[in-house]
Structure formats: C-alpha cells, structure tokens
Structure 1
Amino acid sequence: MSEMHTLHVFCLFDEQFVLVQALLCSSSNLNLTVTAILLKMYLNLPFLSQFFLLTVVVKAVSDLCLHKMGGNLYQRIQQECERHISAKLQSLVGQSLDLVVFLSMVEKCWQDFCDQMLMIRGIALYLDRTHVKQTPNVRSLWDMGLQLFRKHLSLSPEVERKIVTGLLELIERERLGEAIDRTVLGHLLKMFTALGTYAETFEKPFLERTSDFYASEGLKYIQQWDVSDYLKHVEMRLCEEHERCTLYLDANTRKPLVTTTEKQLLERHTSTILDKGFTMLMDLKRVDDLKRLYTLFARNRPAELIAKFLDEKLRAGNKGTSEEELEGTLDRVLVLFRFIQGKDVFEAFYKKDLAKRLLLGKSASIDAEKSMISKLKAECGSQFTNKLEGMFKDIELSKEINDSFKQSSQARTKLPSGIEMSVHVLTTGYWPTYPPMDVRLPHELNVYQDIFKEFYLSKYSGRRLMWQNSLGHCVLKAEFPRGKKELAVSLFQTVVLMLFNDAQKLSYQDIKDSTSIEDKELRRTLQSLACGKVRVLQKIPKGREVEDEDSFLFNDEFAAPLYRIKVNAIQMKETVEENTSTTERVFQDRQYQVDAAIVRIMKTRKVLSHTLLITELFQQLKFPIKPVDLKKRIESLIDREYLERDKNNPQIYNYLA
C-alpha cells in the first residue's frame, strides 16, 4: 500500500508563532502530529520541551522533503508569509502623522519580519538545502521573504514615500544640529539595502535633497562670512558627511555624497573664494587657512576646477569685466596652474569647455581665448596646445567653407527657402570625443544636410562627414498670442518644438516616437522647455521630473520682455555623464602613456629590476600615479608578452623583442 502525506503550514506572524502540523498516514496507520506552538509561549517552555518541539518539527520537515513534498511545503510557507506581510504593511497606511513615531513603527515591523523569517529558515533548513537547491528559479526562504516584503512595500506607495520622507527629514534635522535616533535610521537604511532598493528608493532623493540643502547653505554663508570661517565650515561639513557614511549610510554613498557636498559648497563658489580671500590670506600669511584652502581644493580635483574657473571667466556674459582685467585674471590663474599635478586633467576639461564656447558662440573674447592658449604654450610647450590651436583653425576654415557653399550652384538652386544654416566642419583628432546621438530631423534640415554633404565631398574627395546632432543650435521664429519671439535653442529643442506646429498637445511617448531622441536626453530637453525659467511648453501634470505618463502643451500664455530669448543654456551645462566620460578618457590615456613608457625603458635597458623600473617611470611620467597602479600595468604587459619575469629572480624583468 502506498503512503499518503498531507501537510498544513500556518505562519501566523501577528501572533508571533509558527504552527507546523504534519499528518503522516503510513501503512501501519500510525498518525503522527507535530505541533510547534506560539514562539513566545515556546520560549517560556523548559529547555528540554523546547528542544523536543524543535526536534520533532525539523524531523517532520525532513520527512516531507524525503517524500517529495518539499514543493508543497514551500508553497504553503510562501502563501502564509505573503498574507501576513501584506497585512502588516497595509496596517501602516494612515498611521501616525509624527514621522519619528511612524519610522519606529516601520522599524518594529521590519525587525519582527527578520526575526520570524530567521525562525522559519531555521526550522525548515532541510527544505532550503534540498528542494530549494535542487529546483531552478526557486529562492531560498530568506530571499523569498525579502522578495515578498519588497513587492508589498512597492504596492503601498504611501508607506514607502512616508519612510523616505521621514529618513530625509531626520538627516536634515541632524544637519541643523538636532539630536536624532541614529539606530532607527540605520536599521531602516539597512532594510532598503537588504531589499535591493537602496539606490533608487533612498539614495537618489537623498543626494538631491543634499544638493538643495548645501546649495542654499553655501549661498547664504559665502555672503555672510569671511573666507577663513567659510572654509572651516566646509571642512566641518565634509567631516560630518564622512561620519554619516560610517554610522548609517551605505558605503557606496560616500563618493557621490562627498562629491555633491563639495560641488555645492566649494565648486560653485570657487571664484568667490579665490577673489574674496586668496590674496588676503597670502598678504596676512595666514598659513593655517591657506593650508586648509589647499587641502580642500586639492582633494576636489584642482586641475579640473582651474579649467572650470577659466571657462566661467572666458564665457560670454561676464559683464563689467574689461580686457585688461580679464588678462590679469588669466595671468594669476597661470601662477596656480604651475603648481598643479595632472595637467592632462586640466587639458581634457579645458578642451571640452573651449569646444562648447567655440561651437555655441559663447566665447567672451576670441583674443582672450588665443591669449590663454599662448600662455599655456609658453608654459607647457607646443605639444600641449597643438589640439587647442587645431580647434581654432577648424573654426576659421569652417567660415571659408560656409562662404564658398553659399556661393555654390548647389546652394543657389537646391536649398529650401526660409532657412539659413551654418556648418562647423571639425577634425576628429582635435576635438573632444562626442557620443553619436540619433534624432529624426525635420525634412527641411535633412535636405540642407544632404546638399551640404554633396557640396563638401565634391570639393574634398575621400573625406567622410558624420553629423554631431548634440552640438547643433538654432534660432526659431515663434508666434505666441502675446507677440512674436526668437528662441535660441538646441537642435534637440528645435526638433521637439517643431512638432507643435502640427499639434496642440503631445504625450511623452508621442514626442519620443516622433523624434527618436534617446530617453535620458529627451527628458533633459523637455525639462528645459517646460520646467525651467523659460517655459515655452506646459507640462501636465506639473512637476520637476518628466515621467512617461506626462503630456505637453504649447504655452499660449508665454510672455517675455525680450524679443530674442535664450533657451539653450542646457547645452553649456556639464552633465554627470560628460564629467565621467572626460575623467575616464584621461585615465585611459594615462594607461597608454604608462605602457609606452615601460616598453620604451625596457627596450633601452633590456633587463631591469622592479625598483629601478618604478624609479625611472616616476621620473618620466608627468602625472601623479600610485606604485600599485604601475604594477598593474607591468602585469598587463607581461600578460601581453612584452616583458617576462626572470626565471631565477621574479623581481627582475626581461624585455621580449
């Protein structure tokens, strides 16, 4: 006679007990009932009774698994866990308006959940080790519990939003000097980490809130305090943020948090700090303050900061600055430039910013631009400025090409009327690398591009043109009910706005389908048109972020005092991706330089010890680098068979011809 097994599992968390009842009917008709009762009652039982109950329950679980009933057991546990977790999280909806009390309730809910899942896992360990491991795509009991908690938390957006709001409020109170319960804070942040939602659910709004907080504080204190006091405050704030990362924030938050704090308290006020305090500190020989100034800016990428400072000074819009004053500023910056390490970082960021100034017509003075390049050439040599000078040659040559094009037969007979277009033809090696970005252009612009390409290739055979849409900018003539305007916009902004010639209202998806602009860039473009200072479009519903469900309307009520309005400031702003890409290119170039230097030295010496090779590399390389990074490049060259270790002494390298 075959054996029959049935199972009933109840995970009654709200009573804090796990009841496992297993009825085994064997051929001998022996009935066995195993009961694990209330955990609180169970904990009050004598030790031997506890031990007996646990032994019986664990034995029942292993018997069920051995009789191929593990799947049924797993499903019942999962169902009961889900029922309980859903009920517990739903019970938090509409709870206390006091955020601290609410967070304590959530923490209690989370701690109970963890304790209960650990008890279930302990009792059903055999299930985890057999059925779960042997069955594909089945989570461990602990991971199953986390997945259910994550699922039902996301199904309770009010609870999740209230948790995040409460955490951000607590941290802001702490920044303002109030004592808070860091234990609750730490437990709930660990909850998000365990659920795998920390970065998206908490870190993103936390960094945005941090940026807003320090932007406001920096603006207030830089005006109220002298430079010495301000730098002490910045130093204190950075120490506090490092401490937060140690005490309760996820370790991966440290880097973006410190970067955000430095950006708002230091980078945004670089020129003010230097203009307002540097000379005074030098004149008064305030050594401690100068040391603090150097330390803060040194860890904040001084080469990059100097490049950005120059971009600010050389960019159009610096009203009230004479040519003589600008020239004096450039001379003073050059003094600082002489002392920085990593001039390749300066070159990369300076080149990126110079490219935007030239291509978008944002340079305050071409004479000042050329003067700065002459100073850099005198300081670092022609090799340092070769690409920068090449960029100016391209701009001047492009003017000649455009004049020639306008007089050509192609332009006179084929160009569509009503459009004027100027093209910059750039030599790839001189300019920063730009990622290609697709966009579906209006028909008129496509025609213009095709005619220009035909003209250019007929004049310069063997060359290839590749359009960089992200760098294009236009002037659109717009008719609003309150008057006509000219809008200075980017090419992406142009493509979006021209859709509204044929429609009053478009959804985000409509615009995406019609333009083919990459998702992140399209959101950025729509933000600039509907959420910025100049709102040519209206977003429904209102808000700072562009969501998939949003719709956009042509703004009939738009009005502005000026006839020509600049909307394309978005193109001058550096994105996070741009900054990261520039930094990564410098790092990649350094790797090539290190490899070339190692091969050059070894080709000359043939045989060299590790110590002597490192010493020569430090003498030849013009940027700071750690010995451990040099060792990695040596290992890479050994793997690629440029070098080999001596068979008798691993500290000696041999060059392989």
Structure 2
Amino acid sequence: MAEEDSSSSSATTSREQEQLENRNLIVPSVAADHHTDDLTEASTTLSGFASVKLGTGSVKKLVIRNFKDKPLILENYTEEAWQKLKEAVQAIQNNTSVQYSLEELYQSVKNLCSYNLSANLYKQLKQLCEQHIRAEIHQLREYPFFPGPFLKKMDKCWQDHARQMSMIRNIFLFLDRTYVFQISMLSSIWDMGLELFKSYIIRDQNVQSRTVDGILLLIEKERNGEMIDRCLIQRLLSMLSDLQIYQVSFENKFLEETNRFYAAEGRKLVQKKEIPGCLYHIKNLLEEEVDRVRAYLSLNTQKLLIAIVEKQLLGEHLSAVLQKGKDVFKAFYKKDLARRLLLGKSASVDAEKSMLSKLKQECGTAFTNKLQGMFKDMELSKDTMIQLKQYMQNQNIPGNIELTVNILTTSFWPTYIPKEIHLPPEMERLQENFKNFYLSKHSGRKLQWQSTLGHCVLKAEFKKGKKELQVTLFQTLVLLMFNEGDHFSLEEIKMATGLEDRELRRTLQSLACGRARVLIKNPKGKDVEDGDRFFCNEEFKHKLFKIKINQIQEKETVFFSS
C-alpha cells in the first residue's frame, strides 16, 4: 500500500505534464493533505493547474495563477531614487549622517537595476566618486610638507577613502553582484574606488614623491636610533601595496637608500678597533632589518634588503673585517684554552689537539706554535710537581697544604697583570720552598706569581655538615680570615688581604650575595658598600658536598694580546 501511495503522489495527466514542462516548473510531490500549505509563493505566479492524487485515493487540484505584469515605473521615480542615493553617497564622503536606512537605499538600487538602468547607475556613481577624489587631491597638494604631519594627512585621506568605499559598496551591493559581475570590462565598485584614488592622488608626482620621501626619511631616523610611528609607515606601505605600486614607487628607492646608508655604515665599522663589538653590531643591524620587514615592509623585500646589508657590511670590507675578526678569535681562543688548561676543564686533550690542526690551516703555524707551547708547559709542570713532592720529602719540609704550581712560559700564554696581595704565612712559606727548589734546577730564570690564576679547595665545617669549597685565591684569602674571627668590616678585610678595592668588592659579592652564600652581609643588598660588615654563615647548607663558588665576572673592555 505504501508503494502505491508513493507512486501515485507524482502522477499528472499528460496535458498537465506538458503545461508544466513548458513553464520549466517542477511541482513538488505531496505525501499528505496538510502539506499543501508548504508550497512557495512562486506557485502563485504561474498559470495552469496540476492534480495530485493523495494517499486516500482522492485527487486535489492545485491552481497556479498567471504571471503578474511587471509594475509600471512611477513618474519621476528614477530621478528621485538617484537623488536619494546621491545624497547618501555625499553624506558618506563628507562624514555626515545618512538620512536613509541601508535597506531603503539597497532597495532603490535593486529597483533601478530591475528597470534596466544598471549601466547608467554605475556611470553616475563613478562620476560622483571621481568628483570627490578630485577635491581631495587639491587639499594634499596645498598641504605644507613636514614629513610627519603630511604622512598623517595622507594616511587619513587613504583610511577615509577605504572606509567610505566600503560603505558605498554596501549600498550598491546589488549592482555590484549583478550588472558589474556580468560585465568583464567593468571594475567592481571597490576596485573602481582604488583605481580613482590611484589615478588622481597617488600618481600625482608631487603627492607621491612627498609620501615616499617622507617614509624613507622616517626609516632613516629609525636606523639612526630615533623612535618613529611604525604603525603609520605600515599603513602607508599597505596602501601602496593595495594600489599595486609598492615596488615601482617605493621599493626601488628604499633599496637605493639602504645601499647608500650601509655603505657609509660599513666604512665606519671597519675603522673601529673593537672588532668583536663591530661584529656584534653587524649582527644587531641584520636583526633590526629583519624586524623592520616584519613590522611594516613587504616580505618580498627581505631577501633584497638583507643581501644589500650583508654586501655593504661584510662583502665590501670582507678582508679587513675577517682579518680583524680572525685576530680577535685568536685572542679569545687562546684565553679560553688557557682557562681550560689551568682549571683542568678540558674535556679531551685529543679533541684540543685535533682543533689545533684545523687552526693551523686557517691561522698559520705562528699562532698554533704558541698554543702547542701551552700544552708543553702543562706537561712539564706535571713532571715538575712530581719532582717537587720528592724534594719536600727529602728536605723533610712540614705542611698540611697540598701545593700545585703551573710554570707558564710568558711568550706562549695570554698576558696577565700581576696583582700584589697579602698571603697567609703558610702560603708564603710554600711559595718560598717552591722558588728555592725551582731555581736550584733552573738558575738564571725569574719567577713571577700570578695571583689572579690561583684557585684552592677549602674544607669547611658548618652546623649542617662539612663541605668542600672550590674557590679562587682571592676568595680563599677572605674566607681564611674567619678562622680568626666571627665578623669583619669591608675596610678590615681590605687591610688584611691587600686586595684592591674593586677586586675585593667583587670577591665579597660572590661570597655573600651569590647563590652559595657562605658569608652574610650586613646590611643586606646586592652590592658591597662602604661600612658593610661580613659574618660567617654558620647555617649555610647546600645539597652538594663539593661546591664551586663562581667569582663575579668583570666586564672586559680590552682584549688580550696574542
């Protein structure tokens, strides 16, 4: 039964079927009597009828009326509708309120298009926009050229234009989506607005040159360290991009100015002696240019921009920069290698020597010979320490301090500035014993103690337990004082150790203000000031048994000689 109902619901007479096909109308099938109310209004605009057999077996006629005649255009309607639209467009352009609703204006456009007046409507709208743009160009031409204010005026002109064209397009949306869409020769309303702005404003040589020159001037100010309005530049360059003249009007000039600016910058950098600072500055400049691209330039500009910067800062002066850079690298590598060897921090002697063979190819044998001399000094020092131990046993020299001395050949190692300090009597005796031993084997040589390179391991006992402190010689001198007293002032420590003021303050800062605070400073603070007093931190605790207390590093302003 269900199958019969289903098949009969779409049945019509042959005559009725022919009438429906001639009208290109497909009548939806009806499954039940109460669904007949769901037919759309379109069914009332056609003539003829169709019969539908219902599930009960009865037939119901569906009447479809004839087409209604197209309503006649009212007298003066075209003029009145355009006047209404014209007033709305002018109100938008003059930033005043529109008297009519968007729905009313949209319906007016739709009605005019239905009367085949689309072509004339598009023409009138374009003329209206063109008149407004022509008035704007006169204001910009007469505006005084102060880069900042002029660029803001230009930006406001563009932002207003974009906002106005967006609102106008909303009103004429029906025209844009029907008539304009179908005519390939016509630009959309938005594109038409861009073309008018481009033709009458940005292609004006006076306005374009002032805009581009103003942008370039602000970019140069930023490169020289001044603060500028990046958002303003970003909006103006987006305008040039939207108008498809970014490359022709701006990018070419920008790259020329960049080439000129960094050519001069490159000459300045090569004249500087602080090449590490110079290389660091070049790195910063490159990063700044990449940031500039991200902030307001087109991404397509980045490759060309960076190529120019690298050419002027490196390529044009590459040999000079590399030579100075190589000299600085030598000094720093030599200094770091010395630290690794003296502190026993080298991961692998084989790896160090493998690096030397590579450096020999790049820096020459004169440089690597000195580095090899450093390794030789360390090996000879080990042999010397074995002999020293035997010498002290033979001489029956007492002492509970284990001494290790590295004998450095001055010409091999970085230059170290000796500093006078007051050593405890036990240390002084050890130094004198070593001097006697060494000179007995190498007469005529001169020994000079480098206190800045000294380091010690101290065994300390706190309430929370015993610890081993790995410290510098300067830190050692300070800590040993607390075997003799509970607290000392800055002035007292300075007098006892002989450390110069700046070196002493850094040393006390590392012991009382760092992470491992084995001393307590009163009053508390990050810096050591005159009148501060220092106490042994009896409550000191640390999860490790062996603790390295790093010295506060002093900023280096000079480079070690090679």
- TM-score per shorter chain, which class? 0.3 to 0.5
TM-score by length of 1: 0.39
Computing the radius of gyration over CA atoms, which structure comes out larger, 1 or 2?
2
With normalisation by structure 2, the TM-score equals: 0.45
Larger relative contact order (CA 8 Å, sep ≥ 6): 2
